[in-house]
Amino acid sequence: MIQADHSSRWYGQVIGVNDVTCTVGPGLTALLGPNGAGKSTLLKLATGQLRPTTGRILLHGHAPFANPRALQHLGYVPELEGGYDEMTGREFVTMLGAMAGLRNPGLRTAVAGSIETVGMTAAADKRIGGYSKGMRQRIKLAQALVHQPSTLILDEPLNGLDPVARRDISRLLQDLAAQGVCVLVSSHILHEVEQMTQRILLMYRGRLLAQGDISAIRAQIDQHPHRITIVSPQSREIAIRLMELPFILSARLDNPRPATVDVETRAPELFYARFADLVLESEWQVTAFESPDNNLEAVFKYLVRE
């Protein structure tokens, strides 16, 4: 639904996006990267706010820049807000719905439905100027959903939300993705992104550094062995047995915590399968077992580390 083909965007002598090629289809994909990585520029290209300097970007097969035919499929939640403080939430969503081509009586029904979907019915007729940050985020999402787009792009949608609201919005985005909507979310809140999706695009210094499933990306980072931490009263015996396996690089006992074994391997799938058998065969008591490498934050740090 979103396709970039060697897309670049320059701001004078500054490169915002550099030769990016990627495809984003149905489902939920997270766009990640540190400040200045090019995330916002890529979103502006995808939403038709900017034209690529070189290459091309397509939205449903059409160049989105100044193209209503492409943009009719798009719902967009920007990070920044316009000056609509004098409007009520309902007036704001109605205005954007009309601009998307909806007309009464269908417009009125669509507005009520999208406002209810984001949990803003009770505050819909209050002025936006009196909304909290979280309420503003919800009403921005309502306007993006009012015309039932097949592609939804959100720039930092979880900013300013309390934990309950973050959970609700995350679930809503997951539900939309499960229905076949293409949902692209830009965010810096890594642990919450990881709860929403395993599919990522990682930008760094204007380039697309990685794309795809988090686990598959981690498996390709060969220069960093996979780390596992095991806590057990039989830690010494576990370390000795593990070092007999050909795919184990190291098994170290933690001096401050003698019951802890820190393991490194380049074949995590083999390790997990064999370790389970060893625990059963040897009747070890394992009280904790985790991998600090099996998460999005570890992948992110490895890829952007200089």
Q: How many residues does the chain have?
A: 306
Domain identity same for 203 and 232: no
Percent of the chain's residues with pLDDT above 70: 98
- 63 and 206 belong to one structural domain: yes
Domain span at residue 145? 2-219
CATH number of domain containing 162: 3.40.50.300
Residues 260 and 281 in one domain: yes
The answer to whether residues 294 and 152 belong to one domain is no
Residues 187 and 259 in one domain: no
**255 shares a domain with 209:** no
- Indicate if 156 and 282 belong to the same structural domain: no
Q: Is it the case that residue 81 has pLDDT exceeding 80?
A: no
136 and 254 fall within a common domain: no
Task: Using the predicted structure, report yes or no on whether residue 306 has a pLDDT greater than 60.
Answer: no
Q: Do 32 and 120 share a domain, yes or no?
A: yes
Is a pLDDT exceeding 80 seen at residue 47? yes
- Beta partners for 212? 200
Q: How many CB atoms lie within 10 A of CB 14?
A: 9
Q: What's the total number of domains in the chain?
A: 2
Q: Among the three residues 219, 240, 255, which one is the final residue of a domain in this structure?
A: 219
Say whether both 189 and 245 belong to one domain: no
Q: 219, 241, 263: which is the final residue of a domain?
A: 219
Q: How far is CA 25 from CA 150, 182, 196, 199, in A?
A: 10, 6, 16, 11
Q: What is the pTM of this model?
A: 0.80
Q: Are residues 189 and 242 in the same domain?
A: no
Domain boundary at 219, 238, 261, which? 219
pLDDT digits (tens, 9 = 90+) for 225-234: 888 999 999 9
Looking at residue 279, which CATH number applies to its domain?
Answer: 3.30.70
Residue 61 Cα distances to 2, 137, 182, 246, angstroms: 8, 29, 14, 50
Q: 222-266, pLDDT tens digit by residue?
A: 667 888 999 999 999 999 999 999 999 999 998 777 899 999 998
- For position 45, what pLDDT does the model report? 96
